[in-house]
Amino acid sequence: MLRYLKESLKRKAARRNFRTYNHTITDYNFPGIGTFCYANWDNPLSMGKIITNEQYEFYTQFIREGDLAVDIGANIGDTTVPMALAAGNKGLVLGFECNPVIYAILEINEQLNPEKTNIKAVPYAISETEEEFYYNSSEASLSNGGISREAKNNHGKFGLNHKVKSVNLERFLEKEYPEWISKLSFVKTDTEGHDLIILKSIDSLIWKTRPVILAECFKRASREEREEIYTMLRQLDYQIYNADKYKEGSENIPLTIDDFNGMGHFDFLALPASTNSN
């Protein structure tokens, strides 16, 4: 009980007052991978971001050794690292995280496990054009949040004292990683409601490379926003599934537009028709 109360007080303090936190490096051991390291943030509102073998196995369904994968809204790297384990050190995973407080931990995970992973942390958001956004959070520790063009927005009252920058993903890849574009197999985006803007900004890249897409349907997304995401992906010849229920080799039933509107907050998986494994 005493330990629970102490942890509860730490979480309350993190929600109300900003401070910097250290990190803790933990060793993991997965079948087929062996031992690797992961840096977890000591922020009490973020310490639950662990890595599981189930996560790693999920990504291996879609990311092969030597592939390029992109993690937009990478946070501290809890999805970036298992994606990079799937791609191996001959592949490449770009982790985009525009919040500098969180980015500091992502950079540490970038440097770990060079014999097993190849991660490049990138300090930008993704949008149609290069521009600047406000970053806000409901927590003073800024452990999670989102971007907006408006200073006052629904992400919360706590914000950075400067704007964050965005880039267009396709132009960024053409400039910085042109040799990797043809190897793009997977795009994950989790950006607290910015996902529609991101997907619209990379529609031509999706047409060219046909990556599997893992994205978030934000709890506050309007019916119009949900229908726009769904319609856009269907027009790009993708089938859409509930990510939590998808299993390779099983009879996976695609979501309908009514499902997409009625499911609240959830992660969805979009597969190009040519790789549909129903």
Task: Give pTM, 2 decimals.
Answer: 0.93
Question: CATH code at 103?
Answer: 3.40.50.150
pLDDT, the chain, mean = 90
The string of pLDDT tens digits covering residues 237-253 is 999 999 988 877 677 88
Residue 62 confidence (pLDDT): 96
Spatial separation of the C-alpha atoms in residues 55 and 27, rounded to whole Å: 16
Looking at residue 254, its amino acid is P
Count how many domains the chain has: 2
Query: Which of 167, 191, 212 lies at the terminal end of a domain, its last residue?
Result: 167
User: Does residue 109 form part of some domain?
Assistant: yes
Question: pLDDT tens digit string along 185-226?
Answer: 999 998 887 889 999 999 999 999 999 999 998 877 788 888
Could you give the CA distance from residue 242 to residue 162 in angstroms, rounded to a whole number? 36
92 membership: H or E segment, kind and range: strand 92-96
Residue 110 lies in a domain: yes
Angle at 122 between CA 31 and CA 80, to 5 degrees: 20
Residue 254 sits in the same domain as residue 186: yes
Residue ending a domain, among 167, 192, 224, is: 167
Query: Does the residue 157 lie in any domain?
Result: yes
- Which structure tokens are listed for 126? 């993704």
CA atoms within 13 A on the CB side of 28: 25
Examine the domain organization and report whether 241 and 157 are in the same domain.
no
Domain membership flag for residue 210: yes
Range of the domain at 143: 134-167
Q: Is the pLDDT of residue 144 over 60?
A: yes
CA distance 196 to 190: 11
